[in-house]
Chains A and B, each alone.
Chain A
Amino acid sequence: MVRLKSRYVLFEILYPPVTGTQYSKTEIYVSNHTQSPHQITSKTLLQEIRRSLQINFGDYGAGKVASLLQLKYFSNTTSMGIIRCHREDCTLLVAALSLISKVADIDGVIINPIKLSGTVKKIEQYGVRRNSMAISFLKAQPSSNSLTLQTSENDIKILDSHQNF
């Protein structure tokens, strides 16, 4: 029997740094990986991907990829997601993803395809590994200014000082 072969793409949305602020290394990392606002939902994301496919690859590309295009997972809090597509079309999809610069009405975002795999399990495992690396990276950084992790219960506005500039 012929099986439907698919690929899963792990991606993240990177947000532009706010103009006029100066960040340290850690802060750049955190600011790029902020939460996605409410406007960005799986629906808007898919719309955007379809549009990008249409613009960049025409009717053929859009039709080919869209025959199997599922957003398996998208989390606003971490801006990470998993897309499923046909095995043959994954290159088109990855290209389309990286050509997107605007989602909903937020401009200047980068969609970064992180990992491509044939099974969700491996994608999930990679996501876990990546997240824990990010956490350990943050913990390893010397806590500068008010950037502390110990008081994680409260919302701390870390970069008050920067805002004042």
Chain B
Amino acid sequence: MSGSKSGGKKQLNKNQLFKRQKVRNARTIRTEALSSASGKSDDLSESGGMLRVDQFVHSRKFEIEQLQIAMIKSKASSSTRVFQSLPRKLRRRTASHNVRRIPKRMRNRALREMMKSDQQVVAKERIKKNKIHGLTASQLYKMKMSVKLLRLAGKSTSLKLALPENATASNCNLRQKIKTLQKQIKEAKSFSSSNVKFNNNKMGSYDNTGISKLAPIPKGRIKYFKRQRFFTWLPTHIWNAKRSHMIKRWGCQLPWSPTQKCFKMTHRIASYSATSDGALCMDSSFMGTMIIKDTSEEHTILQSLVSRLTNKRAILRKYRQSQTWFQGLFYSIKDSTNIWGPGDLFWVNEGTILLRVHPSIYVSIFNEIATSDKELLLHDCRYALASITIKGAKSLTALSSALRSVTPSASFEQFKLISNLTDENVLPQKAIFAFDAIDPRYLSAPKRIHSINSKKEISVDAILKLQNDYPQEEIRNILLKLCDPECREMSYKNQNTLKELSSRRQKLLISTPQKRQIQHDKDSDPSIPLLIAKRPRTQDWVIILPWFWLLPLWHQINRVPRVYHFGLRQYQQLQYEQRQLYFPDDYPFTNVGFMENSLYKRQSLKSRWLKKPIGKRVNYDKINGIHSLELPAFSGEIGDYFSCDWELLRILRNGIDFLTSQGKELKLIDSRRTTQFDSNDNSRAINTLNDVIELYKDVRTIEPGTSSTEELPVTLASSLPTPGASLHATEIKNESASLIITQTTLPIVAISCNFIERGHPHDNARIYRIPDTDLSYWLQVANGVYRADGKKDHEQNIPKPSVIDLIGFVTTATYHLGEGNGLATGFIDAHIASTMPLEQKYILVRNVGTNIYRLAHWEQIIM
């Protein structure tokens, strides 16, 4: 029988055989032959006493060489394709079989490789005969028109004309746009009309500030305008779209996460670890920036506004006068119990502040301030000021190698001094730099600054000097330039196009070949006012600069080795790893955060669950053994399966408080009676815990978030209440029980809990208190229960808590790489948190849809 028919081994074709042989050849390590002369005499008995050290060394050197060659060869043989030899960051997965997607310089090699591997070379699409250019008549017409439009737009930028309103309006059709452009160009050429607006640069950059009103969407390039009618592009959109997964939210298109996996890298580089040797940067221009000016002498209106906005915090002298960057919660001006969310505040001078808030709450805050304090001058700089957030050991190095000051500046000297620092924690809390920078593109490549001090380590004195010699006057002047719309507009004056830059560089190379950096011309070249600030809480750096200057800087920073970009997801990861709250996911006590949890994330999780076939999805209703006692009111998992069910928590905690008030004993079920209804107002009578859960089920039928007027079920407890004081004892009056239970808001505290044993917590996990009866068992677990062989015993029958022990939910959780165990951020009932003794701050965490409880130690997150 022939080998091919007898089964077993597959017959290989010619190419496969060739490849196999090639790999085999590549993997063999060459050995040095024994020289025949020495070989004969090398009988052990004969050569016994003869030692040849030189031969010893020589043969080992040979072996080293061969081993190294073998490593290189086997690596080269495995990467078969040219696109695979590119660094990971530069690889494109999409259509990598298509030669035209491979860099031009590598195409020939790629073609050769494709021929070898019998792969089809993708030919250009053949055009059907009845279509000219592959288009139908109407498509062709549209294309021709849009080409015309683009030509006109190009012409108008080279004439430095600002795009007219009509050109970017969404209700205008193509022909109207062309008409307006044509008209404008004609008018501009004849110098006849004064209503033509000119830009001061060929790039089409202009300042887009909304003065006392919201700014219109920026008029970027006309070609891409239609795509950003509802979701604006960030300055780095095109760069990011190639390298990140994008999401459309909050009126912007945001980078969600780099296409390349980066969980570990994010932790290593940016999560304040000693191994960090790079930096991560993000285009954070989506954060809305607002400038508020008080033109009066005393600035009392502004001060009272800030005091109300930040609950009296950012009004302190340290922020107001010595310009420390403020990060904290922003409260509603009208109603101090309503928290908007976190934000940044910076006092530019006594009468001007700069606010940075999340885009989801920006418009509400802007409108609130605009309507409440009419005396203040409000600038909406969402599309006028852009920012980069950068984090990691090399962030200062990366920034300093891309930025140069125009004129000698004290602040820039200070910045140079610390440019090689890797740990920003050695700096004082206030670390602010501001100077006029040259166009970053003048540097041919980012270059590290070597100041006189860079060799030496920075002394403590030098760092103290940063604080003492803080050039406040100079910084204020630069900041005023940054905050003034006209100065920003001026900064774009003569902004060079890439063509102009390269022609300047060409001239430079001919005249002085050793010089690479384009010289800054004081009279004609632009200077960029910018602000670099250390954010004390998140421990990162923020660079704020005019909107159209961000992209040049972004390109330069990303050329620094070991500097990578990150997206929102990584930002969340970093905040989680620092045990901080991430907006909006970890802010259920704010409106936006609550909606994010109960609508947005819930919907997405639910639809993902629904997509699965019935057999494959977790049947939450039928999970057994979750609680020690099953109640007839529900079976399986408690609460909503896809979100943190704050409504349940409120009703449960309030219900238990109500049932145990006035010294009554808590009854779980009354086996003799079914549900009762009050005869007076037809509401449910609350006698047992089962009734409370039934009440929750009544309330839940209304979809969360549908009625916008209703209050949030939870609030942030401002401080831990004193133990023992029952929160609701005073509130129970003559109202019906169910109304009290469903209307009283529940104070919660933010906690971060560390798993003591195994376990990987997930979002929306449930948090339980340890019942008093099981406390001794869990304390034992905390100390470790060991088997006879000295290893930890993980397989014990654990006592289950009951429904009444549910005290909170986990908002963000995963495995913490720095801690080496699970870590969860969540919220628990403030009343229960205050009653826990200090040395026993333990809770139980259970993932949704499981019945395994994990012990965790918690501590409060100070807001």
Number of A interface residues in the complex (CB < 8 A): 47
For A34, A134, A158, A163, the residue with the greatest tally of chain B CB atoms inside 10 Å of its CB is A34
Taking the nearest CB of chain B, how far is it from the CB of A101, in angstroms? 14
In the complex, A78→B49 CA distance in Å? 18
B43 within 8 A of A: yes
Q: A37-B42, A152-B54, A163-B49 are known contacts. Are A120 and B74 too (CB-CB below 8 A)? A: yes
In the complex, A157→B38 CA distance in Å? 12
Q: A76-B31, A78-B63, A80-B63 are known contacts. Are A155 and B39 too (CB-CB below 8 A)? A: no
Residue of B nearest to A76 (CB): B34
Q: B residues touching A (Cβ–Cβ < 8 Å)?
A: 27-29, 31-34, 38-39, 42-44, 47-64, 67-68, 70-71, 74
Pick the residue among B48, B53, B58, B63 that contacts A75 (CB under 8 A): B63
B51 and A158 contacting across the interface, CB-CB below 8 Å: yes
A78 and B60 contacting across the interface, CB-CB below 8 Å: yes
Listed from nearest, the 8 A-B pairs whose CB atoms lie closest are A18-B48, A152-B54, A77-B59, A75-B31, A131-B60, A124-B67, A77-B32, A73-B29
A135 within 8 A of B: yes
A92 within 8 A of B: no
A-B contact pairs, 9 of them (CB 8 A): A35-B59, A37-B39, A38-B34, A38-B42, A75-B59, A78-B32, A158-B50, A158-B52, A158-B53
Within 8 Å CB of B29, what residues of A? 72-73, 82, 124
Interface residues in A92-141 by Cβ distance below 8 A to B read: 106, 120-121, 124-125, 127-128, 131-132, 134-135, 138
Within 8 Å CB of A82, what residues of B? 29
A162 and B49 contacting across the interface, CB-CB below 8 Å: yes
Q: A residues touching B (Cβ–Cβ < 8 Å)?
A: 15, 18, 21, 26-27, 30-31, 33-35, 37-38, 72-78, 80, 82, 106, 120-121, 124-125, 127-128, 131-132, 134-135, 138, 147-149, 151-159, 162-163
A128 and B68 contacting across the interface, CB-CB below 8 Å: yes
In the complex, A33→B60 CA distance in Å? 11
Taking the nearest CB of chain B, how far is it from the CB of A135, in angstroms? 6
Tell me if B's interface is mostly helix, strand, loop or mixed: helix
B43 and A37 contacting across the interface, CB-CB below 8 Å: yes
Taking the nearest CB of chain B, how far is it from the CB of A19, in angstroms? 8
Residue of A nearest to B61 (CB): A135
Within 8 Å CB of B57, what residues of A? 135, 138, 149, 152
In the complex, A96→B201 CA distance in Å? 80
Other CB < 8 Å A-B pairs besides A37-B42, A77-B55, 10 of them? A30-B51, A35-B55, A38-B39, A72-B29, A77-B32, A77-B34, A78-B60, A124-B68, A155-B38, A155-B52
Taking the nearest CB of chain B, how far is it from the CB of A77, in angstroms? 4
A77 and B62 contacting across the interface, CB-CB below 8 Å: yes
Residue of A nearest to B40 (CB): A38
Pick the residue among B42, B48, B56, B63 that contacts A30 (CB under 8 A): B56
In the complex, A162→B50 CA distance in Å? 9
Taking the nearest CB of chain A, how far is it from the CB of B89, in angstroms? 23
Within 8 Å CB of A147, what residues of B? 51, 53
Taking the nearest CB of chain B, how far is it from the CB of A14, in angstroms? 12
Taking the nearest CB of chain B, how far is it from the CB of A118, in angstroms? 15
In the complex, A68→B50 CA distance in Å? 38
Residue of B nearest to A72 (CB): B29
B49 and A159 contacting across the interface, CB-CB below 8 Å: yes
Within 8 Å CB of B63, what residues of A? 75, 77-78, 80, 127, 131
B51 and A125 contacting across the interface, CB-CB below 8 Å: no
In the complex, A26→B643 CA distance in Å? 71
A151 and B54 contacting across the interface, CB-CB below 8 Å: yes
Within 8 Å CB of A154, what residues of B? 54
Pick the residue among A35, A75, A151 that contacts B42 (CB under 8 A): A35
Pick the residue among B27, B61, B71 that contacts A125 (CB under 8 A): B71
A156 and B54 contacting across the interface, CB-CB below 8 Å: yes
Pick the residue among B38, B44, B55 that contacts A106 (CB under 8 A): B44
